[in-house]
Amino acid sequence: MRELLTVVNREASQAPRREGARLRLEPEKEDEIRIPEFVRAIGNKTVDLAQRALYERLLHTKYEGQTNIPYHTNFIVAANHSSHLDMGLVKMALAEAGTDLVALAAADYFFDTKYKRAYMENFTNLVPMERTGSLRQSLRHARSFLDRGYNALIFPEGTRSMTGQMADFKPVIGYLALASRVSILPVYLEGTHEAFPKGSTILKSRDVGARVGRLIAIDELEEMTRGLPRAEAYHLISARVRHDIVNLRDRTNIKFDAQALHQQWQAERRSGKLRIEASDEQFAMAEA
């Protein structure tokens, strides 16, 4: 069963629910499939009802920490990722705040054919992100939604885990948070790998859940990264977010020691063991 996709949640006071072609990364091409407005409206309603039935009736879904969901500001949702069930689960966990929640999604996977593009652009709010190639264009595109008040879901691992174990988080989430001055809401998803792992075609379990953590305020992130080179700041934020999600997973409350991690990186850099993947120049291009 494929996940029913959703990605960027905007505040209720702002413009209409679905933006269709405005979610595209590139201009519409001549041979693109065009969906009539009334078909889109019916399709969107059907997708929403089917998704709700999946998580409320078919799956045994549990939510924790929903009092941490902020309604006074827009934010980036960061979650671990190991299943096509993850996006819909985040949306359901956010309740009203997830009404229009869609996600930053890999353009080379979800938008690689005109048929996929027709579905994604008309019946979901997925925002295409290039995993290779035009990073500059993708980052600007993603920022434009945050700057307009949307809430954006991103999976910082970059792809689904094959084992259910969390990989390191990519620095893109740090860039987006600092560049758009938006806070981050960590969410831990459990049971989705066991229920519907990558490569599966049938549900193997029905027990899934989401734990919503404390909002990491942008002021806190800016203070933590003050004085650091931009690339290191983005990596430090990604490490902090991962730390908070691990705390949610393990039900612990271990404090994140940014200074100790910074000192560790300095020592590894001097010994030649550390290589920051994303250069300052790479992200600076998106700011131009």
For residue 6, pLDDT over 80 is answered with no
Please report, for the domain that includes residue 139, its CATH number: 3.40.1130
Contact partners, residue 32, CB within 8 Å, separation at least 6: 114, 117, 118
Structural domain containing residue 66: 8-287
CA distances from 278 to 229, 233, 285 (A): 11, 11, 12
Q: How confident is the model at residue 288 (pLDDT cuts 50, 70, 90)?
A: very low
In a domain? residue 57: yes
For helices 172-180 and 135-147, angle between their N-to-C axes, nearest 10 degrees? 40
Question: What is the model's pLDDT at position 43?
Answer: 75
In a domain? residue 282: yes
In a domain? residue 147: yes
Question: What is the model's pLDDT at position 132?
Answer: 62
In a domain? residue 1: no
For residue 10, pLDDT over 80 is answered with no
In a domain? residue 2: no
For residue 93, pLDDT over 70 is answered with yes
For residue 2, pLDDT over 50 is answered with no
Separation CA 55–CA 191 (nearest Å): 13
Among 66-80, 102-116, 140-154, 238-252, name the one with the lowest average pLDDT. 102-116
In a domain? residue 208: yes
* pTM of the predicted structure, to 2 decimals: 0.81
In a domain? residue 3: no
How many distinct structural domains can be found in the chain? 1
- The winner for highest mean pLDDT among 91-95, 103-107, 146-150, 189-193 is 189-193
In a domain? residue 65: yes
For helices 172-180 and 218-225, angle between their N-to-C axes, nearest 10 degrees? 110
Within 10 angstroms of residue 89's Cβ, the number of other Cβ atoms is: 28
Q: Given its phi and psi angles, is residue 276 left (phi above 0), alpha (psi -120 to 50 degrees) or beta?
A: beta
For residue 4, pLDDT over 60 is answered with no
DSSP state letter for 256? P
- Residue with token string 């990073």: 135
